[in-house]
Amino acid sequence: MKRLEQLCHQYTNLSESDIKELQRTARYLSSTTLYQSADVFIDVYKEMSQQALVVYHKPPAKTTSLYSGDVVGMEALLKNEPGVLRTMQTSLNSIGLLAVTQENRLIKQNIYPIRNEHRTIGVTIVEIAADEEIQADLQKEELNNCQLAKVAKSTSQVDALFIDQLAEAVLIFDAAGHLLITNHNAQELYRKLGYRDNIIGMSYDNLSIDYTTFEYVLYQMKYKMSNQPIESKTTYLNYYFKVRKVWLASEEQLIMIIQDNTEFKEKEAEIISKSVAIREIHHRVKNNLQSVVSLLRIQERRTQSPEAKKVLHESVNRIMAIAATHELLSKQVKDDVALRQTLEAVMYNFRHLFQGAQPIEMMMDVDPAIMVSSEQMVTISLVVNELLQNIFDHAFEPQTSGVVKLSGTLDNKMITITVTDNGKGYDVHQSNETSLGLMIVKSYVKDKLKGKITIESNKQGTKTCFYFEQNTSDVVH
């Protein structure tokens, strides 16, 4: 019992209560007169390798053991003993399944779950030899419950050639729960799951992968859900399946269709993993940009040139706009971002930078339903940042109040963003030739957003409007 405890502590996540229950089961198996002609084992789930682990073995009292060496502490592999992990996962008995020992010998296994606090914590395995003659007898014994007349009748009613063309695994059971007909994909599926027997004639309970027994399925079909199909999604070992069952009342047959969604689930998990990685990259880019901003601010404080201070200050604002977009992207699950959220980040940055320096009121009127792609978001942030920078630098006299308004609309898949102020205005034509900020704005709108920009300015203020086509993975109307 000490070795069982040590193995459980070393290789499993079982609790002390679970281990005590396994020890109690082991003591019972050691003292019982049952199974005197069989090797009896207790296996548990080994977390690291995701295989079964032998923690107890009782050799037969009346015959020679199937094992020449000590197998306690060894693994039972899925490919060799499919019933072991099947019972661990489904909590269903696995009766009469063929398996291969750690010493490469063919055996027959009966496997029963060991439960504690409504959970399966291990399995009891009863093993006997299964040479070719015994294997044939076992198959005949299972087929005795299936009437040959029903097999012939089923074959005429269900076109075996047709079901072989289906991508899903198809299994048809008789009224007693024995498998009558199956297609090639079903045979391949169960071989992949480790089944070594010919599954024809096998019971539903030995083939169930969704934690149901044949008795329960009949109850669902006949009394709870009539003839309506039953659908379920289930995980079995490392596989993901969608299972559909239909009861043919007139023929007293159960049709089970299994769709393997494992590849889809794996790709879905890969996408999620990449999405998390991308968000982490955005977070790190934001942090690195903030480090660059800190260095530029140090340089700005140390320089004596007013022109250099101005250039460094504008560079800080541009980098902060980019950093703000990466911060938003680091929190986004999808690729698309709300336009309002993008503009709010830019406005927050300006409020923070110019707080107390200029009594300017900033307003926003943007439909929160408008979405933009992450690529558009970065460009929009830079364009709006340059426009706001231009307003704070030139639109108002020092210490004078003013109003700046951002608006965003969507019409027929065209997004229009307008930035207005009530400042003193400027000569649009002259500024076009000398302003780096306006050069950046026009270049980004034209080349990156594939849009157009208009600027109107007079003594009552300036209105800059740029518009472009919405580009999202899920366009919101």
Average pLDDT over residues 18-33: 94
Structure-model confidence comparison of residues 416 and 353, the more confident one: 416
- Residue 200: which CATH number? 3.30.450.20
pLDDT at 183 over 50: yes
Residue 46 lies in a domain: yes
Residue where one domain finishes, among candidates 260, 294, 313: 260
The pLDDT, as a whole number, for residue 144 is 46
Q: Give pLDDT tens digits for 91-127.
A: 888 888 888 888 888 888 999 999 998 899 999 999 9
- Residue 375: which CATH number? 3.30.565.10
pLDDT at 152 over 60: no
The pLDDT, as a whole number, for residue 151 is 44
User: Do 14 and 89 belong to one domain?
Assistant: yes
Give residue 281's domain range.
Answer: 263-333
Number of domains the chain contains: 4
258 forms beta bridges with: 169, 243
Which amino acid appears at position 437 of this protein? Answer: G
Average pLDDT over residues 258-272: 80
Q: Give pLDDT tens digits for 407-440.
A: 999 998 899 999 999 998 888 877 655 666 788 8
For 12, counting Cβ atoms within 10 Å of its Cβ (0-12 exposed, 13-18 middle, 19+ buried), the class is buried
Quick one: pLDDT band at residue 27, thresholds 50, 70, 90?
Answer: very high
User: Do 120 and 30 belong to one domain?
Assistant: yes
Residue-wise burial string across 308-344, b where 16 or more C-beta atoms lie within 10 A, e elsewhere? eeeebebebbbbbbbbbbbbbbbebeebbbbbbbbbb
User: Do 217 and 236 belong to one domain?
Assistant: yes
Residue with tokens 């203020």: 461
The pLDDT, as a whole number, for residue 153 is 46
Residue 340 lies in a domain: no
- Residue 46: which CATH number? 3.30.450.280
pLDDT at 339 over 60: yes
**The pTM is what?**
0.50
The pLDDT, as a whole number, for residue 463 is 94
The pLDDT, as a whole number, for residue 56 is 96
Residue 448 lies in a domain: yes
Residue 201 lies in a domain: yes
Residue 312 lies in a domain: yes
User: Do 268 and 256 belong to one domain?
Assistant: no
Phi, psi of 265 (to 5 degrees): -65, -40
Quick one: pLDDT band at residue 132, thresholds 50, 70, 90?
Answer: very low
pLDDT, the chain, mean: 82
Structure-model confidence comparison of residues 274 and 226, the more confident one: 274
Residue 111 lies in a domain: yes
Average pLDDT over residues 132-158: 45
Residue 385 lies in a domain: yes
Residue 240 lies in a domain: yes
